[in-house]
Amino acid sequence: KAGVTQTPRYLIKTRGQQVTLSCSPISGHRSVSWYQQTPGQGLQFLFEYFSETQRNKGNFPGRFSGRQFSNSRSEMNVSTLELGDSALYLCASSLVLRGGLDTQYFGPGTRLTVL
Amino acid sequence: SQQGEEDPQALSIQEGENATMNCSYKTSINNLQWYRQNSGRGLVHLILIRSNEREKHSGRLRVTLDTSKKSSSLLITASRAADTASYFCATVNGEAGGTSYGKLTFGQGTILTVHP
């Protein structure tokens, strides 16, 4: 099976702009989670979508939003970009097993640089 | 905020030696997972240990879990230069039930360098 894919892989934006990142999960996986990784804060959970509904949300401002489509593909959007949004954004998909014993499979990430 | 604290922050060893990394967490967990990351790329899942398990093996990896101390350790035996990477523990909260299952809370990670 193909792994999790993320597009684009690299992105350069300027402050105030908005950006949309895309994630295609492994075929058959219904849950997609997003994470932000920075040198200062490490890996932080943004949100999780399951069956087109946001099931979990991390502690990020409303500028960060996402959605999931009927084919489980997901997008996240960041509006009014700030310098501090520069990060590696990782998407992960999982099957959604009973009891929470899911392995999350990560994509290669999108490296966002805000100038 | 990060739940896990990992120790050490960096570890440098020679090929063939064993590497041990420790992780502590704060809340009740459903399970704990270990991931590896090479040079700022995506994370690769290594092993998952359930809250009712104490030890688990996978190839050269051994993971232990002590829920009374809220800690876990990852042992890599007979390390290789290819094991050079950052290693993260991540927990799934056990208190919120199914609503939290899609959320991993990561530690700060241990940078492992294995010299040939």
Residue B2's pLDDT is what? 44
Residues of B in contact with A31 (CB under 8 A): 102
Residue A95's pLDDT is what? 86
List Cα–Cα distances, B25 to A94, A95, A112, B104, in angstroms: 23, 25, 29, 12
If you ran DSSP here, which 8-state letter would residue B4 be given?
A: B
In angstroms, the separation between the Cα of residue B34 and the nearest Cα of chain A is: 10
- Which band of pLDDT confidence, cut at 50, 70 and 90, is reported for residue B100? low
CB B6 within 8 A of CB B21: yes
Looking at chain B, list the stretches that DSSP marks H as alpha helix, in order from N- to C-terminal side: none
Residues of B in contact with A100 (CB under 8 A): 30-31, 92, 98, 100-101
User: Could you read off the pLDDT of A43-82 as tens digits, one per residue?
Assistant: 999 999 998 999 889 999 999 999 999 999 999 999 999 9
Instruction: Identify the CA nearest to A29 among candidates A91, A89, A76.
Output: A91
Residue B54's pLDDT is what? 97
Closest residue of chain A to B33, computed from CA coordinates: A103
pLDDT at B113 over 90: yes
Tally Cβ neighbours within 10 Å of residue A83.
10
Residue B108's pLDDT is what? 92
- For residues B23-40, give the mean pLDDT: 91
Report which residue type is found at B97. Answer: G
Instruction: Identify the CA nearest to A33 among candidates B100, B35, B58.
Output: B100
